[in-house]
Chain A
Amino acid sequence: QKEVEQNSGPLSVPEGAIASLNCTYSDRGSQSFFWYRQYSGKSPELIMFIYSNGDKEDGRFTAQLNKASQYVSLLIRDSQPSDSATYLCAVRSPGNNRKLIWGLGTSLAVNP
């Protein structure tokens, strides 16, 4: 069964620290990987996607992909209280590229 796994958290970090969120996936054929941020009561917001091994940086966010180890991570530098949210990892299904396979999400709390 194709799975995407995340630690549910809560992950608690102090303001200004680096938050590290991790996601593992089971299907080696997976090609594209997405990080969504979801505030309570709101819809998911795409913040990063990556499909090549290595790092991809966008502002304070860095996505890291290691296909050999089948994990993808999201680093948030200089964490702010406004980063407190649930972070959802999603992987494009290699069997049907119209579908995403979702992790259960990691709750992040950034403490002032």
Chain B
Amino acid sequence: DTEVTQTPKHLVMGMTNKKSLKCEQHMGHRAMYWYKQKAKKPPELMFVYSYEKLSINESVPSRFSPECPNSSLLNLHLHALQPEDSALYLCASRLGQAGEQFFGPGTRLTVL
């Protein structure tokens, strides 16, 4: 089973709202990722958690705040977003030595 789940599937928010994206995997993977993807572009790495510790932050603006409550869960807290932050937000988890990553279905975010 290589399932990563994400909620919600769609999210519309105003620029003053606070919302959270959630990601869950039960495959025992110890690395989890947040990506942002715009249309016709590859995924753009935002954050990596390894063994529940933040190991990579790709200079993401502070209006995005990640959290890893335990080895199965990953959250992305959103606050004061801009319309240009509208995108598909993808969560992924990494399996083994080869580094293969498995993606969840994504959250389609629209910021008005």
Contacts and interface: CB of A to CB of B under 8 A. Distances in A.
A25 interface: no
How many chain B residues sit at the interface, stated as a range, is 20 to 34
Nearest to B55: A98
Interface stretch (B14-22, B42-50, B61-69, B79-87): B42-50
A43 B106 contact: yes
Nearest to B98: A32
A55 interface: no
Interface residues of A, number: 23
Given A102-B42, A105-B42, A44 B55 contact: no
Contacts of B99: 32, 34, 92, 97-98, 100
Report which residue of B40, B90, B94, B99 has the largest number of chain A beta carbons within 10 angstroms of its beta carbon.
B99
Nearest to B50: A98
Nearest to A97: B99
A17 interface: no
A105 B38 CA distance: 13
A100 B43 CA distance: 10
A104 B42 CA distance: 6
A72 interface: no
Interface stretch (A45-53, A61-69, A73-81): A45-53
B103 A44 contact: yes
